[in-house]
Amino acid sequence: MEGLAAHVRACRKCGLSAHRRNPVVGEGSLDATVMFIGEAPGFWEDVKGRPFVGAAGKLLDRLISSAGLSRSKVYIGNILKCRPPENRDPRPDEVEACAHYLDRQIEIIRPKIIVTLGRHSTNYILFKAGLSVEGISKLHGRVYEANVLGLPVVIMPTYHPAAALYNVKFQGELERDFDVLRSEVEKLSLKKEA
Ligand code: URA
Ligand code: SF4
């Protein structure tokens, strides 16, 4: 992971490198059972070089605790490592240039559960798993047993926490989805004990 981080810090493979203050590689446990995948750094992430440290990050921290997990035990990454100007959506050419770093992170961490936050990471991971991609409002909170990069993994798409900052309706949905996550985590630990 350190080697990969060095590559990301030096990366100039897409235009976003021109505007970034700090790339955000991702952080957390390399032994994580659960990996969260967001979209791209925002303002504060770009300033600090760490994922989910702004307002959406505070909400994500609360949700992570509600699922019986802690930030130090999970891994948090993004599809794009550099902030798009004005937090605009990732462009397909940027995803294409950057996502192999995320793939490599998945291969290093080998998570048992991948939680995709928002439609961009959901589309990317479901496509990778060969699953059909519907709207996030339909498939959030569902659990898919799938194969990503040759690894058996449970995928759970949910809303991006930033969505809940704009519309409280999404907060309740996110909380329910994280209850589903909690039971998936419990199932895994029961399996381990058995
Ligand atoms: N939103 C994201 O998708 N990722 C971050 O790291 C922060 C905000
Ligand atoms: Fe490189 Fe990704 Fe940053 Fe583009 S967004 S410069 S591909 S690290």
Ligand 2, atom 7: nearest CA belongs to which residue?
98
Tell how far the Cα of 11 is from the centroid of ligand 1, in angstroms.
19
**15 C-alpha to ligand 2 centroid (Å):** 8
- Name the region of 151 (left: φ>0; alpha: ψ -120 to 50; beta: rest): beta
Q: How far is CA 105 from CA 30, 74, 159, 173, in A?
A: 9, 13, 22, 28
Residue nearest ligand 2's atom 5 by CA: 82
CATH fold of 2-193: Uracil-DNA Glycosylase, subunit E (3.40.470)
Which is the closest atom of ligand 1 to the Cα of 50?
A: 6
Which of 4, 8, 9, 16 most suits a substitution to test ligand 2, by most atoms within 8 Å of the C-beta?
16
Q: What is the whole-number distance in angstroms between the Cα of residue 191 and the centre of ligand 1?
A: 32
Burial of 189 (0-12, 13-18, 19+ CB in 10 A): exposed
Where do the domains of the chain lie? Answer: 2-193
Q: Closest Cα to atom 6, ligand 1: which residue?
A: 51
**Strand 113-117 with 34-38, pairing:** parallel
| Pocket-forming residues, ligand 1, beta carbon under 6 Å | 24, 38-42, 45, 51-52, 56, 78, 162
Beta bridge partners of 115: 36, 156
Ligand 2 atom with least separation from CA of 80: 5
Distance CA 165, CA 112 (A): 28
Report d(CA 26, CA 81) in Å as an integer: 8
pTM over 0.75: yes
- Residue ranges around ligand 2 (CB below 6 Å): 8, 11-14, 16-17, 23, 80-82, 94, 97-98
pLDDT of residue 44: 97
Q: Can you tell me the distance from the alpha carbon of 121 to that of 101, in angstroms, rounded to the nearest whole number?
A: 14
Backbone angles phi, psi at 22, to 5 degrees: -140, 135
CA distances from 29 to 26, 67, 69, 87 (A): 10, 17, 12, 27
- Which residues make Cβ contacts (< 8 Å) with residue 16, sequence separation at least 6? 80, 82, 83, 84, 94
pLDDT score for 47: 98
| Among the bound ligands, the one closest to the CA of 100 | 2
The pLDDT tens digits along the chain (194 residues) read 999 999 999 999 999 999 999 999 999 999 999 999 999 999 999 999 999 999 999 999 999 999 999 999 999 999 999 999 999 999 999 999 999 999 999 999 999 999 999 999 999 999 999 998 888 999 999 999 999 999 999 999 999 999 999 999 999 999 999 999 999 999 998 887 77
Taking only Cα atoms into account, the Rg of the chain, rounded to an integer number of angstroms, comes to 16
